[in-house]
Amino acid sequence: MSTVFPRAWCQKNGMARERYDTINNKTPISSKTNQIVGGDAPSLYLARLPKKGATSDTAIDTHLESHLIGPQLLRSHDFYGLVGRRQKAMLGMIAAATGKAIYRGTATDDPVENIIEDEGEGLEAAEKAGRTPVRISPGLRTAWLLPL
């Protein structure tokens, strides 16, 4: 697993760890590709891939799309657009796979300590109500699988 927007790039652009260290910013890649990516901006590492024998830009874009990554969003460094799009797509896939409606709570900028406290209270209430919690990412809080 590696980040789509590398940690070094995110930190350089002033992002909090809670924003970039989520499943929405991770994807499985080979160790060779991970070395090519390094900590550079997406436009830089994507330009290097064809030169390193990783095929054409079109093939790369197709591969990115298969990982629910919008190539244009990535190439234009639109972190929030890409992560938001992936979050919606992944939740849609979870809903389709489970046959359950998913609560799509709003993202928050609350400190992690507050989120954890709220989550604990929410988990207890959900268990009593017979709901199954699924943790997606710190920025998303918890997605609840609700009975249909």
As averages over each run of 10 residues, the pLDDT of the chain (148 residues) reads: 89 91 89 87 90 81 91 94 91 85 64 56 67 52 44
**Number of other CB atoms surrounding residue 92 within 10 Å:** 13
Q: How far is it, in rounded angstroms, from Cα 124 to Cα 142?
A: 13
Global pTM value: 0.66
DSSP H or E run through 123: helix 112-129
CA dihedral for 86, 87, 92, 97, sign (positive or negative): positive
Q: Which pLDDT value is given to residue 141?
A: 45
Q: Which pLDDT value is given to residue 76?
A: 95
Q: Which pLDDT value is given to residue 30?
A: 85
Q: Which pLDDT value is given to residue 116?
A: 53
